[in-house]
Amino acid sequence: MKRRSFLSLSAAIMPAVLPSSGYAAASLSQSRPFTVSAFGGVFQEAFTSYVANKFTDETGISVNVVSQSLDDTWVFGIANAVRNGLTPVDLTILTRSQIIRLERIGGMLQPFSKASLKNLTGLQDKYINEGDGGITGVGTMAWFINLVTNTSATAGQPVVSWKEVFESPQYKNRIGLQGFYNGGLLETLANVYLDGNSSLETDEGLREVFALLRKIKPRIKLWWTGESQMEQGLRSGDIVTGMYPHDVALLLGEKGLPVTSVFPNECAYMGIGYFACPATSPHLNSAERFVDFCLKPEIQVEYARKMKLSPVLPFDDLNLTQMEYEKVSTLGKVVTPASQVMVDRASDMQKMWQRALTR
């Protein structure tokens, strides 16, 4: 999932790497406040107001919120800092694939104690990353990459089907899709036309998925790698429909842009943000308390109402009306990232992706 990939590492990483000695680095880590990273801009402001500040009010623990991206540069920065005994942040948001990569390097993350996560009970397995060393990632927030439509070009009617996007003649050369192999398109194709994510686990299945990609390629106007590119395409009218983060589309709609985001008929692709704690953090106890706090139903409601994110708790556990819930999430079929295969066959899939889009 390549979201929020334009942010600099400097806000969080640079303050931690300035000291040259291990003693100075350790002293800095101990003296600075408990630090949590979050996506920048409006997201960071909302996260600080509706989550971090409320945590401080309840626990008395001060939280310093810094900006992060969700691309590999951020993950490499975390890994390099930990290798040097530094602690850029105490909690960071990662995808499951990124957590798997860091676990394979070894010694990058420290596990959370189950006993400290009282609100973990009832959380579905897809929101918990647990290995031999324990729980290294807990999903506390989710977002959807949905079908977005510039309704000024469709007589006010949103596009509601992936098949309509991939097959209807009226949208040819007016579609925008995410331009990364791990951006959700492959899983979407596999679930719309094949046997789901399991199709990505075999050579034959991969060939079928990439054959589908090559088939739809001539229809695509924009392969976007940043949300602003797709936004500009929608604003200009060059793009009528395609993939876009649901929460961002909702915010654009509130600003008056004729953009509608819907949960597609066939399936909705959901990304999950897992909190993870770098191995060098001296604030594991505060990190565990913060993760547990984020899993409280009332905070999950804040995610939904104030930040347009999908709750990770079941609908029945939340004080949301069905209309409120279905504005940010769905009770229909949800597709999650094929994280394991995206790590195991990353090199192969990147090459197949590039060949499919350039030939």
Domains of the chain as residue ranges with CATH: 13-142+271-330 (3.40.190.10), 144-270+335-358 (3.40.190.10)
Residue 31 — pLDDT band, cuts 50, 70, 90? Answer: low
Predicted model pTM? 0.89
Q: Decide: helix, strand or coil at residue 222.
A: strand
Tell me the pLDDT tens digit for each residue of 137-161: 999 999 999 999 999 999 999 999 9
Give the pLDDT of residue 260: 96
Give the pLDDT of residue 244: 96
What percent of the chain clears pLDDT 70, i.e. is strictly above it?
A: 91
Give the pLDDT of residue 133: 86
Q: Decide: helix, strand or coil at residue 309.
A: coil
How far apart are the C-alpha atoms of 33 and 45, rounded to whole Å? 18
Tell me the pLDDT tens digit for each residue of 176-196: 999 999 999 999 999 999 999
In sequence order, which residues have a C-beta less than 8 Å from that of residue 276 and are 6 or more positions away?
91, 92, 93, 94, 99, 102, 109, 129, 136, 137
DSSP string for 125-166: GGGEEEETTEEEEEEEEEEEEEEEEEGGGTTTPPP--HHHHH
Give the pLDDT of residue 113: 95
Residue 24 — pLDDT band, cuts 50, 70, 90? Answer: very low
Give the Cα-Cα-Cα angle 294, 300, 301 (nearest 5 degrees): 145
Mean pLDDT, all residues of the chain:
91
Weakest mean pLDDT among 17-31, 39-53, 340-354: 17-31
What mean pLDDT is predicted for residues 129-136? 91
Tell me the pLDDT tens digit for each residue of 106-125: 999 999 999 999 999 879 99
What mean pLDDT is predicted for residues 299-306? 96
